[in-house]
Amino acid sequence: MTDRYAVIGNPVAHSRSPEIHAAFAREFGEDIQYERLLATPSGFVETVEAFRNSGASGANVTLPFKPEAFAYAGVCTARAERGKSVNTLQFESDQVVGDNTDGVGLCRDIVSNLGQPLAGTRILLIGAGGAARAVVGALLDCQPEILAITNRTPAKAQLIVAEMDAKKRFCAVAPAELSTRRFDVLINATSASLTASLPMVPPSCFDKNALAYDMMYGKGLTPFLALAASTGARTADGLGMLVEQAAEAFFLWRGKRPSTGPVLNLLKQNSQ
């Protein structure tokens, strides 16, 4: 019988996860079906329960339901607990296991695909919403010299730092204090790019050989990446993170690690 998976979100029509998982399944000749499921703003639990009860094997969860998926899962992995956010659900016979693969996906894209080490570097994480919260633990696991987090509403960044047990290497920096700081890796985890806005990051923050990473992906440079490019920084969007987090979810579900490079190239070709 074909094993069934889905990505649940709102909106979800734009999701490229079905394309990615179909490519992973082809690599191994796995018989899976992967669909998009639109849940109403208050209908996440109803949607996921109906899918599970129909005999499905698991689901990915995207905006805005990751915190709800964390509350829904009966058991969560340590990395999901750290960010209080779940993007991958595994339906077992007696329980639902929640995990979050966003952090490992981001770090694999930066380190393995883009060749930018994170150990010993100065990282600036911009934003303190669900995406930022989900990747903090994985970034700290990479042993940076410092991980600084900044946000338009500084109290939210301060709260994330207060919740983590990593005070020596993890700090909150208010936007007004950024002009005196320089970083090797700057990650835009805000949703500012969705409205073509620029988060408050002065050009002086980008070190000479900095990597600027925008979690959003799409055609052309976001305002954040355009600013970074104007300082001479290397730029990357979040398509690689999307593929890497999906590969980790596929591994959890199927026990096989797909090759991500060809799938990333395929997505880039299909976007042109």
Binding site for ligand NDP (CB under 6 A): 63, 102, 127-132, 151-153, 156, 189-194, 197, 199, 215-217, 238, 241-242, 245
Looking at beta carbons only, is 43 or 223 nearer to ligand NDP?
Answer: 223
Any alpha helices (H) in the chain, and if so which ranges? 17-28, 44-53, 66-72, 78-83, 102-108, 130-141, 154-163, 223-230, 239-254, 260-271
* Shortest spacing between CB 67 and ligand NDP, in angstroms: 9
Q: Which residue number is nearest to ligand NDP in terms of Cβ?
A: 129
* Shortest spacing between CB 96 and ligand NDP, in angstroms: 21
How far out from the chain centre does Cα 236 lie?
14
* Shortest spacing between CB 132 and ligand NDP, in angstroms: 6
* Shortest spacing between CB 252 and ligand NDP, in angstroms: 16
> Residues 66, 168, 208, 268: which is the catalytic one?
66
Can you give the length of the chain in residues?
272
Separate counts of helices (H) and strands (E) for the chain: 10, 12
- Distance, in Å, from the CA atom of 183 to the CA atom of 6, rounded to the nearest integer, reads 38
Looking at beta carbons only, is 52 or 266 nearer to ligand NDP?
Answer: 266
Q: Catalytic site residue 167?
A: no
Looking at beta carbons only, is 52 or 235 nearer to ligand NDP?
Answer: 235
Residue 151 in tokens? 């946000």
Looking at beta carbons only, is 207 or 244 nearer to ligand NDP?
Answer: 244
CB 105 within 8 A of CB 241: yes
Residues identified as active-site: 66
